[in-house]
Chains A and B, each alone.
Chain A
Amino acid sequence: MPHWLKPLVLPVALIVLFEAWARATDLQSDSLAPPSAIGRALIEALGSGELWIATRDTLASTLAGLLIGSAIGLMLGIALGLSSGFNRLMDVTIEAIRPIPSIALLPIALIAFGFGYRMEIVIVAFACIWPMLILSRAAIGGIEPRLLEVARLLRLTSADRVRKIVIPAALPRIFVAFRLAAGIALIVAVTCEIAINPIGLGASIMAAQQALRADLMLAYLIWIGAIGFALNAGLLLAQNSLFGRAALAEIAR
């Protein structure tokens, strides 16, 4: 069997088996639907506007939260990575806040902002700060010390030092951190919507469940999976074409 075909065998076999089983038993269920019905529901949902509005809402919150959170995380990470004194002083504070699960902030964000984009963005941003902070701090700590000596010899101002030496040297690893944060952002956004927030894909899949539309619910599940896959694949592609092997060192660890 050709090499590229092997990964496809299992999913195709499962789909065919499930379809056959559903037809043989004339499946009537609130929780399961045959693949053909899921496919029809997905095509129908793609044709209507609702799925696209939900997708837009989810992606908008994800991206806004991701950008805000990673900007804060990156700035803190750079500051902590450059000054070991500052890093040691902030240690207890960071270790005390970091373990709070982002979803636990949901009720706080709810009473502070009400339903909608804002609460979701705040929670996504909170979740994105930590991977960005930890990994960019490590990336800066891993910069070749001679580069920093050069900066000192050239008497660069600290702004120039960050802009011309630190960020370019740590950029591949910072991008890896950004890719990880993007994955977390989407997960947190969908989780918010499933738990409380009545917008986006998470709310749509809950609505389909409550309407006992198993086919539509599973169609949304597949669509959410496809979006997660596309986001990850897109960022991976960008990482490989922008940095090539420079970013691989981080993944291996």
Chain B
Amino acid sequence: MRRPDILWRLGSFAVAAALVGLWQLTADLKLVSPVFLPGPDKAWTALIRGFSSGDLMAKLLGTLAHMLYGWLCASFVGIALGAAIGASKTMRDYVAPSLEWLRPLPVSAIIPIAIALFGLTQGMALFVIAFGAMWPMLLATIHGFAVVEPRLYEVARTLHMSRLAVIVKIALPSASPDILAGMRLSLTVALILSVVCEILAGLDGLGHWVLLSARAFRSADLFAGVILLGIVGYVTATAMAFAERRLLRWRGVGH
């Protein structure tokens, strides 16, 4: 980093700190009722207390588990289905339009159907999260397969490669930027749906924690939960962006 960059970065942290200070001041002067807005000091104490008593850690792990299991299921199914549909022109003509029609459907609307099918269980949450997180990956994979350089397919034909080899060796690597972008989008969807399912089904997780805190008007605990959810969102998105850069490094060379 060059020196001015570091100064700007420091300035940027200073602005954030000043805003937190403003929040503290608002809370201290009771400009907004403390029932709705605890100061950052209270939220921080609640966060530490939650972790030391162990409750919050269990809730955090619960949410992470919901999110990651659902996301992994969605990744497998989404990419496999996307590859199956995207690899064949006939399938793309017949199936892809139906999927495009379904795209604007708010995925949370399938929650009632999932509840009717599975009841208020972990299975329901897994189904909803996996189903919702599958769409971005499915559509991205189909798109990635559709725009593979046609000459690569011609090469595969002259080499007499099998259909599976074509998918694994040519189409998947070529579609990987689209697929990874879809996986990044899905991560956000998975987090949101995890929180919604926890709120609705009372499953162990941060969604349940924030709802209970709100019901009991424990606003400091509530803010601690929301801050933690923000951190989960930030860390998972950053990790995914890092993985994306690493996995796509090979594309930078030789182009």
* Chains A and B come from one and the same complex: yes
Chain A residues near B (Cβ < 8 Å): 6-7, 9-11, 30-31, 85, 88-93, 95-97, 99-108, 110-112, 183, 186-187, 190-191, 194-196, 202, 205-206, 208-209, 212, 214, 217-218, 220-221, 224-225, 228-229, 231-232
Q: Is the CB of A224 within 8 A of B12?
A: no
| B130 interface hit (Cβ, 8 Å) | no
The docked-state distance in angstroms from the alpha carbon of A88 to that of B210 is 32
Q: Is the CB of A31 within 8 A of B36?
A: no
Residues of B within 8 A of A221 (CB): 105, 109-110, 112-113
| B29 interface hit (Cβ, 8 Å) | no
Residues of A within 8 A of B110 (CB): 221
Q: Is the CB of B113 within 8 A of A191?
A: no
Distance (whole angstroms) from the CB of A192 to the closest CB of chain B: 9
Q: Is the CB of B12 within 8 A of A89?
A: yes
Q: Is the CB of A107 within 8 A of B112?
A: no
Distance (whole angstroms) from the CB of A106 to the closest CB of chain B: 7
The docked-state distance in angstroms from the alpha carbon of A89 to that of B17 is 11
Distance (whole angstroms) from the CB of B145 to the closest CB of chain A: 17
| B123 interface hit (Cβ, 8 Å) | no
New contact pairs (19) apart from A85-B8, A202-B108, CB-CB < 8 Å: A6-B94, A10-B95, A91-B12, A92-B12, A92-B15, A97-B230, A100-B229, A101-B191, A101-B229, A103-B207, A106-B211, A108-B222, A111-B219, A214-B116, A217-B113, A221-B112, A228-B105, A229-B101, A231-B104
Closest to A93 in B: B16
Residues of B within 8 A of A228 (CB): 104-106
Q: Is the CB of B109 within 8 A of A202?
A: yes
Q: Is the CB of B214 within 8 A of A107?
A: yes
Q: Is the CB of B116 within 8 A of A217?
A: yes
Q: Is the CB of A88 within 8 A of B12?
A: yes
Contact status of A225 and B109, CB under 8 A, knowing A10-B94, A92-B13, A101-B229 = yes
| B77 interface hit (Cβ, 8 Å) | no
Contact status of A190 and B108, CB under 8 A, knowing A93-B16, A101-B192, A229-B101 = yes
Contact status of A31 and B116, CB under 8 A, knowing A96-B230, A100-B233, A101-B233 = yes
Closest to A113 in B: B36
Say which one of B168-176, B195-203, B245-253 lies at the interface with A. Answer: B195-203
Q: Is the CB of A205 within 8 A of B109?
A: yes
Q: Is the CB of B95 within 8 A of A183?
A: no
Q: Is the CB of B98 within 8 A of A11?
A: yes
Residues of B within 8 A of A93 (CB): 12, 15-16, 19
Q: Is the CB of A191 within 8 A of B192?
A: yes
Residues of A within 8 A of B58 (CB): none
| B73 interface hit (Cβ, 8 Å) | no
Q: Is the CB of B195 within 8 A of A101?
A: yes
Contact status of A194 and B104, CB under 8 A, knowing A89-B8, A104-B229 = no
Q: Is the CB of A111 within 8 A of B35?
A: yes
Distance (whole angstroms) from the CB of A118 to the closest CB of chain B: 13
Contact status of A90 and B117, CB under 8 A, knowing A191-B106, A202-B108, A225-B104 = no
| B 1-31 binary contact with A (CB < 8 Å = 1; else 0) | 0000000110111011001000000000000
**CB-contact partner of A99 in B35, B115, B225, B237, under 8 A:** B237
Top 8 closest pairs, chain A to chain B, by CB: A7-B97, A99-B233, A107-B214, A31-B116, A228-B104, A209-B112, A100-B230, A191-B108
**CB-contact partner of B195 in A92, A103, A220, under 8 A:** A103
Closest to A186 in B: B106
Q: Is the CB of A103 within 8 A of B19?
A: no
Residues of B within 8 A of A6 (CB): 93-94, 97
Q: Is the CB of A206 within 8 A of B112?
A: yes
Q: Is the CB of A190 within 8 A of B222?
A: no
Residues of A within 8 A of B223 (CB): 108
Q: Is the CB of A224 within 8 A of B105?
A: yes
Interface residues in B201-223 by Cβ distance below 8 A to A read 206-207, 210-211, 213-214, 217, 219, 222-223
Residues of A within 8 A of B19 (CB): 93
| B 177-204 binary contact with A (CB < 8 Å = 1; else 0) | 0000000000010011001100110000
Closest to B234 in A: A99
Q: Is the CB of B105 within 8 A of A195?
A: no
Residues of B within 8 A of A85 (CB): 8
| B107 interface hit (Cβ, 8 Å) | yes
